Structure 1
Amino acid sequence: MQENLRRKFEMYRRSTRLKSLEESAEYGINSDALGQLFAHWQFQYKYPKRVKYLNKFDHFKTTIQGLDIHFVHVKPTAENVKVIPLLLLHGWPSSIKDFYEAIPLLTSPRPGYDFVFEVVVPSLPGFCYSQGPVKVGFSPHQIAIVMRNLMERIGFKQFYVQGGDFGHTIGSHMAILFPDQVLGFHTSFPVNFSKISMLTWLVGGVWPSLMPKEITDSMYPLKDKFKYLWEEFGYMHIQATKPDTGGIALQDSPVGLAAYIVDRILVFTNQSNKLLEDGGLSSFNKTDLIDNVMLYWSTGSITTSLRLYKESFASEVDRILEEIPTSVPTWGLRTKHEIFHTPDFILRRKYNLVGITNLDTGGHFVAFEKPVEFTDDVFTAVKKFRLIK
C-alpha cells in the first residue's frame, strides 16, 4: 500500500499545477494550501508511527446482520467509580479518528463525577474497516438497528449514545426505536429537519423577532443562508444521486481524496475559512487530517461511504422517523459555526431535551476540533441524565 501511495504521489508531483484564483479558497481548496498538505504528507507524515498511534486502542470486528462491523472498544482502568457504556457515532467525512483525543478523557475519572465511560466507537457500515452493504436501501434507520445489535453483542443491554452529523441521525433513530435501551442521547448536531422545523425556519425569515438569539446570527437573513447552502452543498447533491461515479474518481488519487475531504472539514468548521488564503488549514494539525484521509484511502471505502447520502435521501422510513418524538433524555451541544441550527422550542417537540450547551466557538466536527469541550459536555449531560432516571 505504501509503494502504491508513493507512485500516486510521484504522478501528482509531476503533473501540471493550476494556480488558485486570487489566492483564496472560494473556488475550493487553495492550491498553495494543498501543496502544504502534500508536502507534509510526503516528508513529515511518519506512516509506521501513525499506524502505531491508530492501534493504541483495541480494535475488533464482528458480524452483525451479515456485515463485518469494525469497532474500537476502550475500557477504563479506574476503580471505585461506576462504569457507564457509551456508544460514539461519527459521520461523513469523519471516522473513528474524530474521537481519538476524546477517548482518554472519557475513560478517565474526573472530580465531581462518580462515573467514567467504557466507550465503543464503531466504523459505520461502508466506512473504513466496516463492510459496506451489497444491496440498495441500507439507510440510517437500519444502521441504527445494527448499532443496537452491536452493543448487545458486546454485552450492553442499556447504554448512552453520542453522535454528530450522520451519527446524530443514527443516534436519534436509536432513541426512537429503542427507548428502553438508550438511557440518554447526546448530540453534537442538535437539529431536526421535520416539516414543522423547516416551516418555522422560513417563518423566522419574515419575522426574525420570533426566533431566539442563539440561532439568528447563523440562520438569518435567509438570503445569506440560502447562498451558503447553494455554494457549499453541491457535494451533497452529487453524493445523493451519483455516489459511485464520484467515489471512483476519488479513490483513484490519494491527493484528490485529501482535497475533497479536507475542503469539507475546513468549510464546515467555519464557513469564513473559504475567505482565507489557506482555507483555514493553518488552524488544524495536518497529521490529524491526513490520518482521517488515510483511513478512507487504505480501506478503499470512499465510494461505500458516499452511498449513505443516496440511501438517506431515498428512505421514506427515515423521513417518518424525523417527525416522531422520543422520550429518551437528550442533551445538545450547539457550536457557534455549526452548518445548521434548530431553535430549542422546536427541538423540544422532537426530543426530551434536558439541556443544551451553546459554545461560542467550534464547528461541525466538534469532537475532532475541540475534544476537551466535547468531553466536558458529555460528562455534564450524562450526569444530568442519571439524576432524572
Structure 2
Amino acid sequence: MLKHISWLVAAVAIGYAVFLTYSLHRVPEMPQLDPNRWWGKEPQQKEVDTSIRPFKIEFNDTMIADLKQRIKNRRPLTPPLDGINSEYGMNTAYLEKLLSYWAEKYDFKKRAELLNRFPHYKTKIQGLDIHFIRVKPTAKNVKVLPLLMLHGWPSSSKEFDKVIPILTTPRDGYDFVFEVTAADLPGFGFSEGTNKPGLNPVHIGIIMKNLMKRLGINKFYIQAGDWGSQVATHMATIYPDDVLGLHTNMPLSSMPISSVKILLGSLAPSLIGDHSHRIYPLKNLFRYLVRESGYFHIQSTKPDTVGVGLTDSPSGLAAYIMEKMAICSNRDQLHTPHGGLENLELDDVLDTVTIQWVNNCIVTSMRLYAEGYSTTAPEVYALHGIPTRVPTAAIKFLYEVMYHPDWVLRDKFPNLVRSTTLEFGGHFAALQTPKVFADDVFAAGAEFLKFHESKK
C-alpha cells in the first residue's frame, strides 16, 4: 500500500512540475489590437486631420502671475520632525527655499525660450493632439538613423533636451548619426489626454507607431525609460519588422519565468554575478519597495483623488514631483534635506514641474499607472509574456528604480546585444548624466547595425 502511495505522490509531483514548467514557458498568442482605436474627446470624423502643425511653448504672463500668487499665498508648511531630513518625504524647510526660487528667480521666459530651441510640432493621432520634438541632423555623408525617444512619469520630451544635440551631431568612430523624434506620451507634457478608459502602454505604443508613420518613418529605433520603456517594449513586440532596435535605461522582464528565477537566485546570490547586491538579499529589495512604492499604489488605484490637491496647489505639486525625482536620482541620500534632488539641476526639475502645472496634466499622467495595471487589460499581460526579439541594448544606472540582471532580461529580450552596468547615475539619466547616456545610445546603434548586417 505504501509503495502505491509513494508512486502516486511521485506521479502527482512530476505532473505538477510539468504543468508548472509549461505555464512558466508558455508564450501567449499575440492579442488582436485595433490600430485605429479612437481616443479623442470629439466623435470620430470621416475626414481625418493629418496636418502637422508647428508648435511653440509659451509660459504666458497670466499663468506666471497666477502661479506666483498661489505660491505666495500658501499656508504655512508643517516643519520636519527634530533630527529628520528626508526620511518622512519632502523636507518642507528645504521645499520653502525651492518655492521661493521658483516664484522669485526661476526665469519662466528664458526657460521657455531654451525649450523652444528645438522644432516643436503637434499632430492628431487617433483623436489626440500629440506633441513632439523633431530634430534632423545637418551632417552630410553619414547614415541617419531615425530614433524615437519616449519618457516616463512625471516627465515629458523635456527630459531629452540635453542629449538631443549630442545624438544629432556626428562623432568620431561612428558612420551614422541620429534623427531624433522625442514625443510626449498622451496625457503628459503638451500631449492631449483622453477621456476614455483603457489607454494603457500597449495602445500608447500603437499611437506612437502611427505618429512615426505620419512622419513618413516606417522603420526606426527607440530609446526609452520608465513608462516609455514599457511602451517601447510593447511596440517592439507588436512591430518587430518596423522597430530596428530598442535601447532602454530601465530594462525589465515581466515574464513569469523571470520572477521564478529571481526567487531561486536568492538561494545562492554569490553565483549570480558581480552586481547581485543590487537585488539580493530580497528582504532589502522588498524593504525598499515598501518604503518607496506608496505613490505607485495610489496612482494605480486612486489617481483622481490625490490629483485634486496636486491640481490646485503648485506647492503640493512641486513637493510631490520633486520628492520622487529626488529618490530616483539617489535613494541613499534620505539623510540630507534635498533627499537626492541636488543630483539634478534645479532649473531642469522646475521645468518638469512647470510643464505639469501649465498643462494641468498631473491627473492624466498619473492615470497611466491605473491603466497599465488594470485587470481589464489582458493585452498588457499577454504582451508581457511574449519574447521581444528585436535587438535590445540595456544600460543600468546605479539608482534606477529596479535592477534585472542579464540572465533575467534575456527571458524577454533574447537578442540582448549590449548591456552596460554603471556604479553611478539614476532614473532620469538623460538629465543627470547626458554624455554617458548619449555615448551608450551611439554604442547601441553600432550593435544594432551589426545585428542586422549579420542577418542578411
1:213 is displaced (CA, Å) by 2.3
1:306 and 2:369 matched = no
1:137 is displaced (CA, Å) by 0.8
Q: Secondary structure at the match of 1:274?
A: coil
**Any conservation in 2 of the 1:70–1:129 contact (CA below 8 Å)?**
yes
Q: Mark the runs of 5 or more structure 2 residues left unpaired by the alignment.
A: 1-62
**Equivalence for 1:38:** 99
1:359 is displaced (CA, Å) by 1.3
1:296 is displaced (CA, Å) by 0.6
The residue identity in structure 2 corresponding to 1:42 is A
Paired with 1:92 and 1:145, the residues of 2 have a C-alpha distance of: 19
Alignment partner of 1:102 out of 159, 163, 169: 163
Q: Secondary structure at the match of 2:328?
A: helix
Between 1 and 2, higher relative CO (CA 8 Å, sep ≥ 6) is seen in 1
**Equivalence for 1:321:** 383
Alignment partner of 1:243 out of 291, 300, 303: 303
**Equivalence for 1:379:** 442
**Equivalence for 1:152:** 213
Paired with 1:321 and 1:121, the residues of 2 have a C-alpha distance of: 24
The residue identity in structure 1 corresponding to 2:330 is N
The residue identity in structure 2 corresponding to 1:24 is N
1:210 is displaced (CA, Å) by 3.8
How many residues get paired?
A: 386
The residue identity in structure 2 corresponding to 1:269 is S
Q: Secondary structure at the match of 2:122?
A: strand
How do 1:1-389 residues align onto structure 2 when only pairs under 5 Å count? 1-12=63-74, 15-21=75-81, 22-214=83-275, 216-314=276-374, 315-351=377-413, 352-389=415-452
Paired with 2:310 and 2:261, the residues of 1 have a C-alpha distance of: 38
Q: Which has the larger radius of gyration?
A: 2
The residue identity in structure 1 corresponding to 2:438 is T
1:153 is displaced (CA, Å) by 0.3
**Any conservation in 2 of the 1:32–1:278 contact (CA below 8 Å)?**
no
The residue identity in structure 2 corresponding to 1:92 is W
Paired with 1:23 and 1:45, the residues of 2 have a C-alpha distance of: 28
1:8 is displaced (CA, Å) by 0.4
**Any conservation in 2 of the 1:218–1:337 contact (CA below 8 Å)?**
no
1:344 is displaced (CA, Å) by 0.7
Paired with 1:355 and 1:268, the residues of 2 have a C-alpha distance of: 24
Taking only aligned residues, the RMSD between alpha carbons, in angstroms, comes to 1.1
Q: Secondary structure at the match of 1:121?
A: strand
1:274 is displaced (CA, Å) by 1.5
- C-alpha offsets along residues 33-65 of structure 1, whole Å, 9 cap, x if unaligned? 212211221222011111101111111110111
**Any conservation in 2 of the 1:85–1:156 contact (CA below 8 Å)?**
yes
- C-alpha offsets along residues 242-274 of structure 1, whole Å, 9 cap, x if unaligned? 111111210111111111111101101121122
Q: TM-score, normalised by structure 2?
A: 0.83
Paired with 1:281 and 1:141, the residues of 2 have a C-alpha distance of: 31
- C-alpha offsets along residues 200-220 of structure 1, whole Å, 9 cap, x if unaligned? 222222322342222x21212
**Any conservation in 1 of the 2:262–2:408 contact (CA below 8 Å)?**
no
- C-alpha offsets along residues 49-94 of structure 1, whole Å, 9 cap, x if unaligned? 1110111111111011111111111111112211111000000012
Paired with 1:3 and 1:192, the residues of 2 have a C-alpha distance of: 46
The residue identity in structure 2 corresponding to 1:387 is K
Name whichever structure is richer in helix by fraction.
1
Q: Mark the runs of 5 or more structure 1 residues left unpaired by the alignment.
A: none
Q: TM-score, normalised by structure 1?
A: 0.97
Moved over 4 A (4+): none
> Identity, % of aligned pairs?
46
Paired with 1:250 and 1:217, the residues of 2 have a C-alpha distance of: 36
Q: Secondary structure at the match of 2:334?
A: helix
Paired with 1:128 and 1:284, the residues of 2 have a C-alpha distance of: 19
